[in-house]
Chains A and B, each alone.
Chain A
Amino acid sequence: MRAISDTEIQLSSQFDSAFLLEMHDHDWTAIADIFLTSHQQIEEETARFTCLAENGEIPELKRRVHLVKPLWGYCGLPLYQQRFQDLEKFLGGNPTIPDALIRLEQEKPFIQSGLELIKQEAIKIQESLKL
């Protein structure tokens, strides 16, 4: 793999690129790795959310939301982290099962869009590094 300058890769404007570059010392390979690891972990964890809510396991659901939350931040997506912070706070209020399910349904498109963003940017970085 060749060295790549920061100007050669432009992340989508939703990403805090400056923060990502500082965190990973301008290492695009490390950024792509973190995107892929986080994508996998967020996808796996969020897939369990509905089932946990249906079983009334709200404290466990809240714990898993808390676990996933900073991964958005590590991907340079602070707004997504904030949204999970709000979801965690909502679950801390011990909502009923139907209320929790409604809220999770509302979050689904948002989660999907975030995952898609991360995946696309990881692919974009990997393609640029191959050139």
Chain B
Amino acid sequence: MVMKFTAVIVEDLSVAADVLQKYCLKSGRVNVIKTFTTTEEAVPFLSENAVDLIFLDIEMPGANGFSLLDQLQYQPQVILTTSKTEYAFDAFEYSATDFLHKPFSYARFVQALDKLKVTEEKKEEPEEMSHVFIKSDGKLIRLNNDDILYIESMGDYVKFITHDKKIISHNTIKALTEKINPDVFCKVHRSYIINMNKISDIRDNMLYIANAKIPVSKANRSTVMSRIKIV
């Protein structure tokens, strides 16, 4: 079973926050809902929005990372990220799950994720629904749902678009619609299936994912609109 943790990143170094966010996305196990550069910004949000996990830098301008933990009424899991090693004792005192020394590799990041406790209440996503295997070039290639931006029809073939690659497979949009995870994907047009989590923008009958312009057909528009949260 694959668990998806909701998380925030509290980090004053934008480069470090960006890399961490990429790692979270790549893992498919962490959904980063917000990033903060100071503890002062993070506390009000975290007081009103319980998260499973905080990636917390310790030394930041103003109050340090530990003061944030002191102010919360609940105990999320914490992975400390720092470029100092002197905080090991404090990390232990605050029951931090792990202590990542910046900069850290993706493999080390995954080790930290592996230490996270999985609570029983957490919604479980069956692993077989978290990814697909697609036939391409005589191989079966695994793609995590979270890596797929959208799928485009090319006649008797479809093209899976991710951030860094395009994979062509012999299949149809119609057949795929019945096989992919309906919680994540949505058919928006006879030629397109999109990952609902990747929409950046919707304008009239078009939606945008990573600079790609994707048409939404009249027939599918209400389905799409019913699945997005408008506040």
Judge whether B61 and A38 touch: CB under 8 Å.
Answer: no
A67 at the interface (CB under 8 A from B): yes
B47 at the interface (CB under 8 A from A): no
Judge whether B12 and A67 touch: CB under 8 Å.
Answer: yes
Given A63-B59, A73-B83, A22 and B106 contact (CB-CB distance below 8 Å): yes
Using a Cβ–Cβ cut-off of 8 Å, how many residues does chain B contribute to the interface with A? 19
Given A25-B26, A66-B84, A67-B12, A73 and B106 contact (CB-CB distance below 8 Å): no
Judge whether B83 and A23 touch: CB under 8 Å.
Answer: no
Chain B residue contacts of A38, Cβ below 8 A: 15
Instruction: List B103-159 residues whose CB lies under 8 Å from chain A.
Output: 103, 105-107
Chain A residue contacts of B13, Cβ below 8 A: 67, 70-71
B102 at the interface (CB under 8 A from A): yes
**Nearest Cβ distance between residue B159 and chain A, in whole angstroms?**
16
Chain A residue contacts of B105, Cβ below 8 A: 19, 22-23
**Contact of B19 (CB < 8 Å), options: A23, A41, A66, A69:** A23
Chain A residue contacts of B18, Cβ below 8 A: 34
**Nearest Cβ distance between residue A28 and chain B, in whole angstroms?**
11
Instruction: List A87-117 residues whose CB lies under 8 Å from chain B.
Output: none
Judge whether B15 and A71 touch: CB under 8 Å.
Answer: yes
A22, A69, A74: residue with the most chain B Cβ atoms closer than 10 Å: A74
In the complex, residue of chain B having the shortest beta-carbon distance to the beta carbon of A76: B103
- Cross-chain pairs A/B with CB under 8 angstroms, 21 sampled: A22-B105, A22-B106, A23-B19, A24-B19, A25-B106, A25-B164, A27-B164, A34-B15, A34-B18, A34-B19, A37-B14, A37-B15, A38-B15, A63-B61, A66-B83, A67-B12, A70-B83, A70-B102, A71-B15, A74-B16, A74-B19
Q: Mark A residues whose CB is within 8 Å of B.
A: 19, 22-25, 27, 30, 34, 37-38, 41, 63, 66-67, 69-71, 73-74, 81, 85
The 5 A-B residue pairs whose C-beta atoms are closest, nearest first, are A73-B103, A70-B102, A70-B83, A74-B103, A74-B15
Known: A19-B103, A37-B14. 5 other contacts (CB 8 A): A25-B164, A30-B22, A63-B61, A74-B16, A74-B19
